[in-house]
Amino acid sequence: MKFNLASLLLFVFLASCNKPSVTENLDSKQVQKLIKADTAFKNIVTDINNIQYLFEKDPVLKAEFLDYSYQDYLNFLVKINDQTIVEDAKQAALEMAKQKFENAKLRISSL
């Protein structure tokens, strides 16, 4: 089978059809499919459903979130709750603060 750009585009299109955007209202079958994949989607579907009216009210907001799927949101939540990432961010912030403090001390001592 030859690989060409048309088949790649078709594959990307079909793959994206299986991942509904957070801006879309989901039907019962779609919700059921998400929850079967991961029960964490129960809360995600509820949370997004509670703010769905904002996407209808603001077309710019809807356009900005159009490319984000429910899976993307779940991945984001997993990363944000990962203690390793949180600790790394805290450590980086602490190092930046120490450096800024040292720079400020040098400026003050040179006055």
Q: pLDDT for 84-110, tens place per residue?
A: 777 888 889 999 999 998 988 888 888
Q: Establish if 4 belongs to a structural domain.
A: no
Quick one: 61 and 94 in the same domain? no
pLDDT band with cut points at 50, 70 and 90 for residue 10 = very low
Q: The pTM is what?
A: 0.57
The total number of structural domains in the chain stands at 2
Q: Is residue 41 a part of any domain in this protein?
A: yes
Q: Is the pLDDT of residue 1 over 50?
A: no
47 and 100, same domain (yes or no)? no
> Measured between alpha carbons, how far is residue 111 from residues 10, 104, 105, 106 in Å?
66, 11, 10, 9
Confidence class of residue 15 from pLDDT cuts 50, 70 and 90?
very low
Residues 23 and 61 in one domain: yes
Same domain, 76 and 86: no
**Tokens representing 90?**
């805290």
Report the SS3 class of residue 67. coil
On whether both 40 and 76 belong to a single domain, the answer is: yes
The pLDDT mean for the chain works out to: 83
